[in-house]
C-alpha cells in the first residue's frame, strides 16, 4: 500500500524532480566549469587576511580546500546553498501529500479507500526520500560527466560523499514537516516549521564557531555532523542516528495523524 | 438477508468543533436495502454526520456504527466496503478522471473492468480530461463514478446531484433505483426535496445540528398540509376558512380562495360546497412543503 501511494506521488511529481535535478546540476556544472580559472588564484594568501573565527564560521578551516575541485564545490555549494535548498524537495512532497492535500479536500477521498492514515504519511515520506535520492544521483552523474568533458579532475567517490551526505540531512528536515502534518492542515505550517528548523540548525554551528558556549548545543544540529562528513567522510553511525531521529519524528507525526480530525 | 438489519446506527452521536456545534445527539438507524435521505438546510450538519460515519472526524459524544463496525475505531474495515462521495469532491487536478478512478481502484486492490466506462457513458462524463479542465457538474460525475465503480454494498453520497443538470440528475436517480433493486443501501444528503421525495424510502430531517424527524417519505407527505384552491361563482371570502382548525395561509383573490390545510380536509370542503363551486384544485403537497412546515414549527418552539 505504501509503495502504491509513493509510486503515484512520484509519478505526479516527475516534472518537479526533473526541474530540481536540472537546476542543481546546472549549479554544480557551472562550478566545475569555472574551477580551472579559479584554481589559479592563491586562496591561501587571500584567506589568511580574514579572522580565523570567521573562516571557521563559514566552514573554512583549512584554506587549502579551495585548491581541489571537490573542495571548491563543497565550499561554494554543498556547505550552504544546496543543503538549504534541497531540503525543500522532500519537504515539499510531504507538504503536498498531507497538509496541502487536506486543505484542498483531497484527503476526504483518499482516506475513504482502505488505506490507513499512517500509510498515507509513510507513503509521502518514502516518496520524498526517493525523489531526493533521485535528484542527488542525477546531480552526481551529470556533474561527473561534465567534469570528464571539461577535463577537471573531480573524484567520483568524493562527489558521491557530498551527495550522499545530503540524504540524511534533507530527510531529517522533511521529517519535521511530517511531524507538523500530524498536528493539522495548512500548507504554511509544515513548511514554516521545517524551514525554521533548517535555518536554526544551519546557524547553530556557525554561532558555535564564534561563541564556544554553544559547543555542546551545536551537536543538536544535523549540520554539525553534515559539515564533518563533507570534510572527513561520512560517519555511518552518525548518519544512522540522524535517519533514526527522522523516522521517530515521522512516526510521531503518523500517530498524531491517526488520532485527529481531518479538516473539512 | 434480514430486511430489518441495520447497516448504519448512531446513538447520541454528537460533534462539536470547539465552541461551534456540528451535530447534537443524533440517533438513527438505516436498514439494509433502503435509500435513506439526510435532509436539511446549509450548515444543518449533514456533511458532519457523514464524515463522522466515515471516521474522518471523531465523535465528541455518542457513537456510531456502520456495517456493525465502530465508525471511528474500525474505519478502515468500513472503507473497504463502502463507496463514498465527499461533499466537495476534489483530487489532484492534473490527473484525468480515469487516472483518479484507476488509482483509487488500485488502492482497493481491484482489477480494472469496464464499469467506469459504463458509468461514464450513462452520466456522459469525460474520463480523459484532466480534472482541472472539467466544469463543476462534470467534475461531480467523476466523483460519482469513483464512488460507484467498485459496486459497494453501502454508498454514502454527500449531495450527489450538486452541479448536475436536470437530465443527469434524472439519470443519477435511475442509478440509485437500480442500486436499491440490487439490495444496496444508499445514504445520501440533499437540499433538493423533489429528489429526496423520488429517491428515498425514509428521510432524516436535520436542522441546526439536531434531528427533527425520521420518517418514511409517504408518512411525511400524508401529514403535510395540502394546498387547496376553490373558485366560486361570486367573490370569495377568506374569513370563514381562516377560522377553521388546521387551515393556514388563507388568501382570497377575486372569486378564488387559496389555503393550506393540515390534516383532515373535510371541514374546508364542506364550507366550500355550501356555495356554488366552479373549480376545485387540491394539490398533493411536495416534501418541500412538509419540510418547511416542520422547520417553522421548530423555530416557533411548537410541537411537531
Ligand atoms: N471543521 C469544522 N470546524 C468548525 N466548524 C465546522 C467544521 N465542519 C463543520 N462545521 C460547522 O458545523 C455545522 C454543520 O456543518 P455541515 O458542513 O455538516 O453542514 P451541511 O448540512 O453539510 O451544510 P451544507 O448543506 O452547506 O453542505 C456548520 O455550522 C459548520 O460551520
Ligand atoms: Mg455539506
At A210, the pLDDT band (50, 70, 90 cuts) reads confident
Of A104, A111, A259, the CB nearest to B56: A111
pLDDT at B164: 93
In which band, very low, low, confident or very high, does the pLDDT at A131 lie, cut at 50, 70 and 90? very high
Higher per-residue pLDDT: A187 or A258: A258
Among A191-195, A209-213, B217-221, B255-259, the range scoring the smallest mean pLDDT is B217-221
Least confident range of A49-58, A95-104, A195-204, B264-273? A49-58
The helix/strand/coil state of A78 is: helix
Q: How far is CA A27 from CA A92, A138, A160, in A?
A: 21, 13, 16
Ligand 2 center–CA A104 separation, angstroms: 15
The CA R_g of chain B, rounded to the nearest whole Å, is 23
Give the integer Cα–Cα distance in Å for A92 and A140.
Answer: 22
**Hey, is the C-beta of A113 within 8 angstroms of any chain B C-beta?**
yes
Cβ–Cβ below 8 Å for A264 and B47: yes
A120 close to A5: Cβ distance less than 8 angstroms: yes
Determine whether the shortest distance from the Cβ of B162 to ligand 1 is under 6 A: no
What's phi and psi for B27, nearest 5 deg?
Answer: -125, 120
Yes or no, beta carbons of A8 and B103 under 8 Å apart: yes
Residues 51 through 110 of chain A touching chain B, CB cutoff 8 Å: 104-106, 108-110
d(CA B86, CA B157): 7
Q: Residues with beta carbon < 5 A to ion ligand 2? A: B 47, 87
Nearest-Cα residue of chain B relative to residue A108: B86
The CATH 3.30.70 domain(s) of chain B lie at 225-284
Contact A105 B86 (CB under 8 A): yes
- Interface contact flag, B89 A109, Cβ < 8 Å: yes
Cα separation, A125 vs A250, whole angstroms: 8
Which residue's alpha carbon is nearest to atom 4 within ligand 1? B17
Of the candidates A133, A101, A93, A128, which has an alpha carbon nearest to the alpha carbon of residue A117?
A101
**What average pLDDT score do residues A16-33 get?**
93
Residues (pLDDT < 50) of chain B are 1-2, 301-304
* Residue spans in chain B of domains classed CATH 3.40.50.300: 6-216
Distance CA B44, CA B49 (A): 10
Residue B301's pLDDT is: 47
pLDDT in tens, A136-173: 999 999 999 998 898 888 888 888 999 999 999 999 99
Query: So what's the pLDDT on residue A68?
Result: 83
CA–CA distance from A39 to each of A59, A104, A147, B38, B302 (Å)? 19, 51, 14, 75, 91
A to B CB pairs, distance under 8 Å: 69
Cβ pair B97, B142 in contact under 8 A: yes
CB A166 within 8 A of CB A136: yes
CATH 3.40.50.620 fits B6-216, yes or no: no
Centre a 10 Å sphere on the Cβ of residue A59 and count the other Cβ atoms it contains: 20
- Among A1, A13, A113, the strongest candidate for a mutation testing the B interface, having the largest count of B CBs within 10 A, is A113
Q: Given this model, what pLDDT does residue B194 score?
A: 78
Which residue's alpha carbon is nearest to atom 11 within ligand 1?
B22
- The CATH class, in words, for B225-284 is alpha beta
Among the atoms of ligand 1, which is closest to the Cα of residue B22?
Answer: 12
pLDDT at residue A88, rounded to an integer: 94
What's the pTM? 0.87
CA dist B47 and B30 (Å) reads 16
Q: What is the model's pLDDT at position B302?
A: 40
User: How far away, in angstroms, is B158 Cα from ligand 2 center?
Assistant: 7
From chain B, the residues in CB contact with A110 under 8 A are: 91, 104, 107
Cβ–ligand 1 contact at A260 (below 6 Å): no
Chain A environment of B56 (Cβ under 8 Å): 108, 111-112, 261-262, 264
**Tens-digit pLDDT profile for residues A216-263:** 888 899 989 988 898 888 999 999 999 999 999 999 999 999 999 999
Which pLDDT score is estimated for A163? 92
- Nearest one of A252, A240, A14 to A121, comparing CA atoms: A252
Q: Can you give the residue ranges of every domain in chain A?
A: 2-259
ipTM of the complex as predicted: 0.86
Q: What is the pLDDT of residue B195?
A: 84
B146: which 3 cell numbers?
469513483
| Spatial distance between the Cα atoms of A88 and A79, rounded to a whole number of angstroms | 16
Question: What's the confidence (pLDDT) of residue A72?
Answer: 83
Beta-carbon count within 10 A of B92 CB = 21
Instruction: Report DSSP letters for B58-106, one per residue.
Output: --SEEEEEETTEETTTTHHHHHHHEEEE-TT----TTSBHHHHHHHHHH
Residue of the nearest CA to atom 13 in ligand 1? Answer: B22
Cα–Cα distance for residue pair B38/B30, rounded to 1 Å: 11
Expressed in angstroms and rounded, the spacing between residue A38 Cα and the centre of ligand 1 is 64
- pLDDT digits 0-9 by tens, A69-117: 888 888 888 888 899 999 999 999 999 999 999 999 999 999 999 999 9
Amino acid at each position: 500500500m505504501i509503495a502504491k501511494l509513493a509510486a503515484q506521488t512520484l509519478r505526479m511529481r516527475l516534472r518537479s524532480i526533473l526541474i530540481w535535478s536540472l537546476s542543481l546540476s546546472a549549479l554544480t556544472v557551472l562550478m566545475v566549469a569555472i574551477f580551472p580559472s579559479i584554481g589559479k588564484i592563491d586562496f591561501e594568501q587571500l584567506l589568511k587576511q580574514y579572522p580565523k573565527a570567521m573562516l571557521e564560521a563559514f566552514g573554512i578551516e583549512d584554506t587549502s580546500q579551495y585548491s581541489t575541485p571537490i573542495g571548491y564545490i563543497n565550499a561554494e555549494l554543498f556547505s550552504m546553498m544546496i543543503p538549504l535548498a534541497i531540503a525543500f524537495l522532500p519537504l515539499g512532497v510531504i507538504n503536498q501529500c498531507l497538509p496541502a492535500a487536506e486543505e484542498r479536500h483531497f484527503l476526504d477521498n483518499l482516506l475513504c479507500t482502505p488505506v490507513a492514515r499512517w500509510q498515507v504519511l509513510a507513503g509521502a515520506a518514502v516518496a520524498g526520500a526517493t525523489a531526493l535520492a533521485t535528484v542527488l544521483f542525477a546531480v552526481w552523474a551529470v556533474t561527473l560527466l561534465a567534469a570528464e568533458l571539461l577535463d577537471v579532475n573531480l573524484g567520483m567517490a568524493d562527489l558521491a560523499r557530498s551527495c550522499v551526505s545530503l540524504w540524511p540531512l534533507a530527510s531529517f528536515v522533511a521529517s519535521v514537516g511530517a511531524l507538523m502534518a500530524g498536528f493539522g492542515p495548512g500548507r504554511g505550517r509544515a513548511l514554516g516549521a521545517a524551514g525554521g528548523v533548517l535555518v536554526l540548525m544551519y546557524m547553530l554551528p556557525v554561532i558555535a564557531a564564534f561563541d564556544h558556549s554553544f559547543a555542546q548545543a551545536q551537536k543538536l544540529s544535523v549540520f554539525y555532523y553534515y559539515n564533518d562528513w563533507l570534510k572527513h567522510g561520512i560517519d555511518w553511525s552518525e548518519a544512522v542516528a540522524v535517519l533514526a531521529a527522522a523516522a521517530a519524528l515521522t512516526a510521531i507525526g503518523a500517530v498524531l495523524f491517526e488520532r485527529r480530525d481531518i479538516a473539512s | 438477508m434480514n430486511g430489518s438489519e441495520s447497516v448504519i446506527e448512531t446513538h447520541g452521536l454528537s460533534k462539536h468543533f470547539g465552541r461551534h456545534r456540528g451535530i447534537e445527539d443524533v440517533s438513527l438507524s438505516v436498514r439494509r436495502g433502503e435509500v435513506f435521505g439526510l435532509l436539511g438546510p446549509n450548515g444543518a450538519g449533514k456533511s458532519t454526520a457523514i464524515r463522522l460515519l466515515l471516521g474522518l472526524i471523531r465523535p465528541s459524544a455518542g457513537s456510531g456504527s456502520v456495517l456493525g463496525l465502530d465508525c471511528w475505531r474500525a474505519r478502515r474495515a468500513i472503507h473497504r466496503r463502502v463507496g463514498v462521495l465527499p461533499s466537495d469532491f476534489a483530487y489532484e487536478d492534473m490527473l484525468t478522471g480515469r487516472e483518479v478512478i484507476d488509482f483509487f481502484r488500485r488502492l482497493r486492490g481491484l482489477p480494472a473492468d469496464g464499469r467506469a466506462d459504463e458509468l461514464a457513458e450513462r452520466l456522459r462524463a469525460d474520463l480523459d480530461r484532466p480534472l482541472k479542465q472539467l466544469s463543476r457538474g462534470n467534475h461531480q460525475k467523476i466523483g460519482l463514478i469513483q464512488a460507484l465503480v467498485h459496486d459497494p454494498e453501502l454508498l454514502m453520497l454527500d449531495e450527489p446531484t450538486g452541479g448536475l443538470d436536470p437530465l443527469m440528475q434524472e439519470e443519477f436517480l435511475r442509478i440509485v433505483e437500480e442500486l436499491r433493486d440490487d439490495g444496496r443501501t444508499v445514504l445520501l444528503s440533499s437540499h433538493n426535496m423533489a429528489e429526496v421525495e423520488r429517491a428515498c424510502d425514509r428521510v432524516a430531517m436535520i436542522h441546526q445540528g439536531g434531528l427533527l424527524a425520521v420518517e418514511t417519505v409517504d408518512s411525511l407527505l400524508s401529514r403535510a398540509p395540502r394546498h387547496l384552491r376553490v373558485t366560486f361563482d361570486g367573490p370569495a371570502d377568506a374569513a370563514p376558512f381562516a377560522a377553521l382548525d388546521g387551515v393556514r395561509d388563507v388568501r382570497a383573490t377575486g372569486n378564488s380562495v387559496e389555503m393550506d390545510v393540515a390534516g383532515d380536509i373535510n371541514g374546508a370542503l364542506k364550507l366550500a360546497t355550501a356555495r356554488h363551486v366552479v373549480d376545485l384544485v387540491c394539490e398533493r403537497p411536495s416534501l418541500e412543503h412538509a419540510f418547511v412546515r416542520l422547520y417553522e414549527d421548530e423555530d416557533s418552539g411548537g410541537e411537531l
